[in-house]
């Protein structure tokens, strides 16, 4: 019995150790089982439910600690379990990631700082240039005009260096764009070098346009002009008679009206009621039809050759562009700097670059070229925002003509006039001519151009005094000083002399 009891204890201990393994059967080894059966005993084995209890308890503990829902747990043979692939993640160490982040941020900040510095330097240079241009108005020295022209050259040089090279094929005009090309209407067919690089007037002057004037008429007119210029008493008496001339009718009630007075730059030059440009009120931002501008006719009252206008005020910029659009104008002649001796002569009515919108008219500066020391040419792309129609407008800006004075030489203005007429040739719309008040310098230019055009068409008789009266019938104050009247005679005489030299003898 003691032997049986010892064997039983040994068997129970072995079974107990087997039950603690993660095996689903937990059977005793075959050697012990056979030995026990020979003794006539039976082997007590733990039920299957009791062996799965520890994993279930571990399941609940794992769910509590990890927060992961475990769907099933149990005991099985490890050889029958499928291997679960383990995915390893390659992660940069936190120190390396921090270094890369700092380097990236530093590079970005450096690029932003460099861009900001370049923009600030460019903006500062533009401000300095504008301050210099503005300060010219208070410069009373004789070199003020030359300084203005030099600054224009510097500004154009900066803008040219900033513009891309001209493409081989023209591209459509884009908003806020600047084209670095000479206008095609100034060339005779071949490539023309930019006149902005030229320094002398003789390098860009042109020969007079072929005229129908015969030699005998030309010599007669030239003799008449020279006699007027030599006989100062005759010239003085003729000017005094012109000063006493009163146009009939000469009412200016509309221009002196309550709502229109503020639109006049000068009370001395106000449009006649019977001879004024009328705007379409439905297209005007103030529903007004008034602008201080006069149509100037020669022979045909239905088709004015010119529109003599004052320089726009800050409050009349949109009115000016409405007049340009409704009159069909494509050429503007500007005969004044923006300011003289600190006095504003004309409000700038175009953008320095890109585009500006004046009521329903978008004006885009396409190009700006300095053609000589005395004038420059700008090209505008004008768009009506109401109907999306577009038009190209060319402005000729004469720089060296001061208010109530005359240019340094007649030849300079005559060369300027040839450029204007070459651009205008073949058109039927009026030319807008303006200075400050639209009478003194504008009247002198129109007088010279009208007389020379009559001669070019073969007129047999020319009376400059009578032509001036004709102009004053349409706008008051045309040609304001005796010096301007004498200058007109000189300019006509010089052009006639040049035409006679060009005619076949």
CA 55 to chain centre: 80
Q: Quick one: which H or E segment has residue 397? A: strand 390-398
Q: Where are the domains of the chain?
A: 2-71, 184-502
The reply to whether CATH 3.10.180.10 applies to domain 184-502 is: no
HSE on the CB side for 52, CA within 13 Å? 11
Catalytic residues: 435
Give the per-residue pLDDT at 31.
Answer: 53
Hey, is 451 helix, strand or coil?
helix
Sequence-separated (6 or more) residues with CB below 8 Å from residue 373: 146, 149, 199, 201, 399, 400
- Quote the radius of gyration of the chain (alpha carbons, Å): 48
**So what's the pLDDT on residue 351?**
97
Phi, psi of 379, rounded to the nearest 5 degrees: -120, 130
Q: What is the reported pLDDT for 164?
A: 45
**Residuewise pLDDT in 10s, the chain (505 residues):** 444 445 444 444 454 454 444 444 444 445 545 554 555 554 454 444 444 456 666 777 777 777 777 777 766 665 655 555 544 445 546 678 788 888 999 999 999 999 888 888 877 776 765 565 444 444 444 444 455 445 545 554 554 454 444 333 333 333 333 333 333 333 333 333 333 333 333 334 565 666 677 677 778 878 877 887 788 888 899 899 999 999 999 999 999 999 999 999 999 999 999 999 999 999 999 999 999 999 999 988 889 999 999 999 999 999 999 999 999 999 999 999 999 989 999 999 999 999 999 999 999 999 999 988 899 999 999 999 999 999 999 999 999 999 989 999 999 999 999 999 999 988 889 999 999 999 999 999 999 999 999 988 888 788 889 999 999 999 999 999 999 999 999 999 999 888 888 877 6
pLDDT at 167: 39
Q: How many CA atoms lie within 13 A of 372 on its CB side?
A: 20
User: Phi, psi (5° rounding) for residue 499?
Assistant: -65, -40
The residue among 399, 488, 398 whose CA lies nearest residue 451 is 488
Report pTM.
0.62
Distance CA 457, CA 461 (A): 12
Determine contact, residues 415/205, Cβ cutoff 8 Å: yes
């Amino acid at each position: 019995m003691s032997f049986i009891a010892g064997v039983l204890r040994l068997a129970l201990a072995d079974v107990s150790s087997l039950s603690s393994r993660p095996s689903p059967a937990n059977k005793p080894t075959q050697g012990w089982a056979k030995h026990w059966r020979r003794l006539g005993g039976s082997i007590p084995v733990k039920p299957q439910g009791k062996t799965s209890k520890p994993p279930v308890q571990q399941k609940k503990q794992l769910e509590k600690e990890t927060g992961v829902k475990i769907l099933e747990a149990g005991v099985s043979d490890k050889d029958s379990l499928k291997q679960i692939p383990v995915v390893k993640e390659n992660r940069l160490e936190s120190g390396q990631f921090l270094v890369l982040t700092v380097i990236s941020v530093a590079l970005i900040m450096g690029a932003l700082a460099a861009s900001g510095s370049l923009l600030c330097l460019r903006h500062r240079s533009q401000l300095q240039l504008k301050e210099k241009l503005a300060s010219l108005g208070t410069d009373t020295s004789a070199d003020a005009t030359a300084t203005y022209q030099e600054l224009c050259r510097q500004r154009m040089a900066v803008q040219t260096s900033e513009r891309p090279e001209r493409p081989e094929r023209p591209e459509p005009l884009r908003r806020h764009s600047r084209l670095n090309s000479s206008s095609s209407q100034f060339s005779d067919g071949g490539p023309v070098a930019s006149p902005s690089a030229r320094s002398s007037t003789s390098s860009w002057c042109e020969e007079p346009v072929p005229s129908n004037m015969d030699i005998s008429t030309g010599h007669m007119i030239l003799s008449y002009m020279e006699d007027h210029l030599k006989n100062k008493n005759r010239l003085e008496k003729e000017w005094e008679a012109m000063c006493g001339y009163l146009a009939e009718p000469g009412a200016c009630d509309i221009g002196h009206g309550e709502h229109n007075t503020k639109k006049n730059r000068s009370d001395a030059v106000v449009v006649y009621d019977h001879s004024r440009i009328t705007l379409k009120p439905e297209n005007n931002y103030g529903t007004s039809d008034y602008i201080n501008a006069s149509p100037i006719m020669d022979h045909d009252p239905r088709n004015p050759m010119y529109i003599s206008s004052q320089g726009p005020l800050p409050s009349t910029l949109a009115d000016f562009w409405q007049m340009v659009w409704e009159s069909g104008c494509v050429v503007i002649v500007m005969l004044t700097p923006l300011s003289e001796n600190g006095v504003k002569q004309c409000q700038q009515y175009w953008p320095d670059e890109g585009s500006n919108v004046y009521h329903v008219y978008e004006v885009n500066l396409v190009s700006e070229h300095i053609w000589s020391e005395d004038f420059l040419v700008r090209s505008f792309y004008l768009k009506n925002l109401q109907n999306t129609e577009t038009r190209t407008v060319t402005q000729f800006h004469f720089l060296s003509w001061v208010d109530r004075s005359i240019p340094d030489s007649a030849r300079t203005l005559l060369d300027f006039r040839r450029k204007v007429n070459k651009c205008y040739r073949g058109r039927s719309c009026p030319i807008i001519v303006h200075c400050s008040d639209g009478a003194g310098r504008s009247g002198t230019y129109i007088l010279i151009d009208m007389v020379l055009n009559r001669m070019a068409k073969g007129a047999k008789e020319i009376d400059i005094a009578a032509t001036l009266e004709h102009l004053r019938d349409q706008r008051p104050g045309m040609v304001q000083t005796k010096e301007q009247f004498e200058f007109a005679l000189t300019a006509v005489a010089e052009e006639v002399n040049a035409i006679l030299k060009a005619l076949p003898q």
